[in-house]
Chain A
Amino acid sequence: MPEPLLKVRDLTTLFKTSTGWFPAIRDVSFDVWPNETLCLVGESGCGKSITALSIMGLLPGKKMRRTEGEVVLDGQPLLELPDKAMRAVRGAKMSMIFQEPMTSLNPVLPVGLQVAEPLIAHGGLGRAAAEAEALRLLDLVRIPDASQRMAQYPHQLSGGMRQRVMIAMALACRPKILFADEPTTALDVTIQAQVLSLLNDLRADTGMSLVLITHDLGVVASMADRVAVMYAGEVVETASVEALFARPTHPYTEMLLGSIPRADRDVDTLVAIGGQVPAIDAMPAGCRFAPRCFLAEPGCRAAAPALTALRSDERHQIRCRVRIAQAAPEAMRAGAIR
């Protein structure tokens, strides 16, 4: 049985507030397989970014937070790594790009140098060799007139161009996995499409895996191989993209998909999910979605459900006791993801 490239198990990140420790994400588990695209999807504040930053070891303030669980990248457990060893992994084996291309480049350094720098820092290349490689990378991310762009500063580049530069930097050391945290949210629609297709082509060409964080289900449908839906800091459903859109099983996913306007179907009313996401220090006991769920039973509020595989599809897992009971009333297989 092949091993996943990135294995995340029970990842929990707690933040300290004035009244105690509260989990911003809880028991997040998923796998990323080589060369696939996993989309982490969910509304704002559901813990998508915290999940990525926890895996990357990028959350600030060591005294104010705690990360527990297990993260294994390519056989190497990451959470226990000392800072220095973790730095050698970041940018080399695993990279990340961010939402704001306008502010993610250093305004006082030429872009060529910024693209070359990961190669100098990690690859031990000299400046000339690194800049030659940087030129190749800028070509690779389809920046026109790359050799002229090398000496330019970020403010001379458009937003889409800057995001390409960010991608070139992230990919400079040929990482095995790239986290993209809402990489196109700040860009206009045509540029969005270009950047997404660039990411997809680069994934196919380099054999890397892509973890795409988004709240846009249209992006999910066009990019993902598999999807993990997050709600209030937990993964509530994970499935292949086909299974998720064809058979959304968790009530939250179902309502989320029902809330998208569609051009190809005549829908009279869009579903709205009543209520709002609970605050981090006021999470309900039991299932976190229960207060807003149309299926909720008294039992849902008693105990938090575990992520459980459906009987029909081992890799389609949901965190909902009602739906699991409906699907397989005689045999509930809790924790089947292990």
Chain B
Amino acid sequence: MTEASVSLAAAAAPARRRGAIGTIVAAFNANKTAWLGLAVFLAIALAAALAPWLAPFDPIEQHIADAMTSPNATYWLGTDTFGRDLLSRILWGARISIVIGVASMAAGVIVGSALGLMAGYWGGRIEQLIMRSMDVLLSFPTLIMGLLVVAMLGPSMVNLIVAMALTMVPKFARVARAPTIAIKERDYIEACRALGYSDLRIMFVHILPNVIGDILVLASLWTATAIRIEASLSFIGLGVKPPTATWGGIIREGFDNIMDAPWISLYAGLAVLLTVFALNLLGDGLRDAVDPRLRGE
């Protein structure tokens, strides 16, 4: 849009007073697929939070007589080999998946972007120290890091979160560092120095909002990945211990009888798929909303 048409539009429309947050929310509101992603993810998160009230049965209560029942009016998604209600198990499993996904992502974002900003802004030895340590962490694939941490510290939810966060930190550090190096040379950062702002203020108030879009997109993708890896580790028996319901664990339990009772693995797999897909839609929408240059104002 040209300068002239912007000012014309501004003059014509009654000026609305909206803060930064309001503008972002408004841009996000206009994005229908992002809304779909957010709605689906919130629905899953809500279902997870309300699992004790929503679940029709105790997730570990065995109904041996009804083992491997296909979906019906009593057991909406059927039962597994021990006759446990699958709907209840998937609802309870969502709690594990979402807590691990969100907590490890939050830890990865906070530690990773702080390290990346400092490395990019200060440069020199600090940058070398931070980024070479990140390279070491980065050399472990997520699944291997998960195996390593679980093998050393034992399978528990906290250990899984630590393992997942460790593999995410270098990714966020890299995504935060690269634009920081470019942005710190901009005139407006020079102007910040001329106004006597501290390094930390420049990094977190002025540079961070410029890189947060990239970080948010990556954050949604990595929440999805963490959920997927948690399912993988549970699938090979290194996740949260049975009989606790986890999505990966349910898929594993159904795997032996996949020809006779495909619904066991199928519905848990669909839960993973739906969550990952919703998070990806959400991430794309967030990126468009946070970056004013993509808002087309």
Chain A contact residues, CB within 8 Å of chain B: 56, 58, 86-92, 95-98, 100, 103-110, 113, 117-118, 121-122, 145, 147-148, 151, 153, 155-156, 158, 166, 169-170
A96 to chain B: closest residue by CB: B194
B293 and A98 within 8 A (CB): no
Contacts of B191 in A (CB 8 A): 97-98, 104-105, 166, 169
Contacts of B10 in A (CB 8 A): 156
Q: Among the listed B201, B206, B210, B297, which residue makes an inter-chain contact with A155, where contact means beta carbons less than 8 Å apart?
A: B297
B196 and A91 within 8 A (CB): yes
Q: List 19 A-B contacts (CB under 8 A).
A: A91-B194, A96-B194, A98-B191, A103-B188, A104-B187, A106-B192, A107-B210, A109-B20, A109-B206, A117-B205, A121-B196, A121-B197, A121-B198, A122-B196, A151-B18, A151-B22, A155-B293, A156-B6, A170-B194
Contacts of B18 in A (CB 8 A): 151
A103-B186, A109-B20, A153-B292 known; A90 and B195 CB under 8 Å? yes
Q: Among the listed A109, A151, A158, A169, which residue makes an inter-chain contact with B195, where contact means beta carbons less than 8 Å apart?
A: A169
- Chain B residues 175-229 with CB under 8 Å of chain A are 186-188, 190-198, 201, 205-206, 209-210
Give the 7 A-B residue pairs with the shortest CB-CB distance, closest first.
A90-B196, A91-B196, A91-B195, A103-B187, A96-B194, A148-B15, A87-B196
Q: Among the listed B3, B196, B209, B297, which residue makes an inter-chain contact with A158, where contact means beta carbons less than 8 Å apart?
A: B3
A158 to chain B: closest residue by CB: B3
In the docked arrangement, what's the CA distance between A108 and B210, Å? Answer: 6
Contacts of A156 in B (CB 8 A): 6, 10, 297
| B7 part of interface (Cβ distance < 8 Å) | yes
| B19 part of interface (Cβ distance < 8 Å) | yes
Q: Among the listed A56, A97, A151, which residue makes an inter-chain contact with B19, where contact means beta carbons less than 8 Å apart?
A: A151
In the docked arrangement, what's the CA distance between A113 and B205, Å? Answer: 11
In the docked arrangement, what's the CA distance between A158 and B194, Å? Answer: 22
Looking at chain B's contact residues, is the secondary structure mostly helix, strand, loop, or mixed? helix
| B125 part of interface (Cβ distance < 8 Å) | no
Contacts of A104 in B (CB 8 A): 187-188, 190-191
Contacts of B186 in A (CB 8 A): 103
Distance in angstroms from B214 CB to nearest chain A CB is 12
A-B contact number at CB 8 A = 94
A118 and B195 within 8 A (CB): yes
Contacts of B19 in A (CB 8 A): 110, 151
Contacts of A91 in B (CB 8 A): 194-197
Q: Among the listed A92, A121, A158, which residue makes an inter-chain contact with B7, where contact means beta carbons less than 8 Å apart?
A: A158
A108 and B195 within 8 A (CB): no
Distance in angstroms from B289 CB to nearest chain A CB is 12
- With A97-B191, A121-B195 already in contact, 16 other A-B pairs whose C-beta atoms are closer than 8 Å: A86-B196, A95-B195, A98-B190, A98-B191, A98-B194, A106-B192, A106-B210, A107-B188, A107-B292, A108-B209, A108-B291, A121-B198, A122-B196, A151-B18, A169-B195, A170-B194
A92 and B196 within 8 A (CB): yes
Distance in angstroms from B187 CB to nearest chain A CB is 4
A58-B194, A104-B188, A109-B20 known; A121 and B201 CB under 8 Å? yes
B209 to chain A: closest residue by CB: A108
Contact with A along B257-293 (1 / 0, CB 8 A): 0000000000000000000000000000000000111
Contacts of B23 in A (CB 8 A): 151
B196 and A58 within 8 A (CB): no
In the docked arrangement, what's the CA distance between A107 and B186, Å? Answer: 11
Q: Among the listed B3, B7, B188, B197, which residue makes an inter-chain contact with A87, where contact means beta carbons less than 8 Å apart?
A: B197
Contacts of A121 in B (CB 8 A): 195-198, 201
B6 and A58 within 8 A (CB): no
Contacts of A98 in B (CB 8 A): 187, 190-191, 194
A121-B196, A166-B191, A169-B195 known; A151 and B206 CB under 8 Å? no
Contacts of B187 in A (CB 8 A): 98, 100, 103-104
A148 and B196 within 8 A (CB): no
In the docked arrangement, what's the CA distance between A156 and B9, Å? Answer: 11
Q: Among the listed A103, A118, A155, A166, which residue makes an inter-chain contact with B292, where contact means beta carbons less than 8 Å apart?
A: A155
Contacts of A145 in B (CB 8 A): 15
In the docked arrangement, what's the CA distance between A156 and B190, Å? Answer: 21
B198 and A56 within 8 A (CB): no
Q: Which of B7, B193, B206 has the most CB of A within 10 A?
A: B193
In the docked arrangement, what's the CA distance between A158 and B5, Å? Answer: 12
In the docked arrangement, what's the CA distance between A96 and B22, Å? Answer: 32
Q: Among the listed B17, B206, B293, B297, which residue makes an inter-chain contact with A106, where contact means beta carbons less than 8 Å apart?
A: B206
In the docked arrangement, what's the CA distance between A122 and B194, Å? Answer: 13
